[in-house]
């Protein structure tokens, strides 16, 4: 399942160069990841009810094109691979001209909230990877 959110670049998201600060792209991706979880019927409360959480353990991002004030961006998220305790989601950010702005693969691990140790993916999450 691929999901997408729309973002309009705000003045507070710009750096001294007049384009979106690199850290904001990570935030955009986090918002899109949260949307993906919700649309997959895996909101935060579902994980906590199972005594589980997810933590990002690796993020590789490519900045392809600058984004500027007022631009409309689409941030998409899709599952790309799963392991026993880890999984990866791919994020792609494009502008209104469908030009690639940034892309990233984000690896997360499912953890037991009490022991704070890696835990096998719950079935509901694992099935999202086909």
Mean pLDDT, rounded, for 17-22: 96
DSSP 49-61: HTTEEEEEEEEEE
CB 105 within 8 A of CB 87: no
* Residue where the block lists tokens 């750096």: 15
Domains in the chain, number: 1
Catalytic residue among 15, 45, 103, 112: 15
112 is a catalytic site residue? no
Share of the chain above pLDDT 70, in %: 100
If pLDDT is split at 50, 70 and 90, which confidence band does 29 have?
Answer: very high
Domain encompassing residue 102: 3-129
Is the per-residue pLDDT at 130 higher than 90? no
CATH number at residue 90: 3.10.129.10
């Amino acid at each position: 399942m691929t999901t997408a959110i729309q973002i309009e670049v705000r003045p507070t998201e710009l750096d001294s160069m007049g384009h979106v600060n690199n850290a904001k792209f990570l935030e955009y991706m986090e918002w899109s990841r949260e949307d993906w979880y919700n649309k997959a019927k895996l909101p935060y409360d579902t994980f906590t009810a199972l005594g589980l959480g997810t933590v990002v353990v690796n993020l590789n991002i490519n900045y392809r094109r600058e984004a500027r004030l007022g631009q409309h961006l689409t941030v998409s998220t899709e599952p790309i691979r799963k392991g026993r305790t880890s999984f990866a989601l791919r994020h792609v950010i494009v502008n209104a001209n469908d030009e690639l702005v940034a892309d990233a693969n984000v690896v997360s691990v499912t953890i037991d909230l009490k022991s704070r140790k890696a835990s096998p993916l719950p079935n509901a999450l694992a099935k999202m990877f086909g």
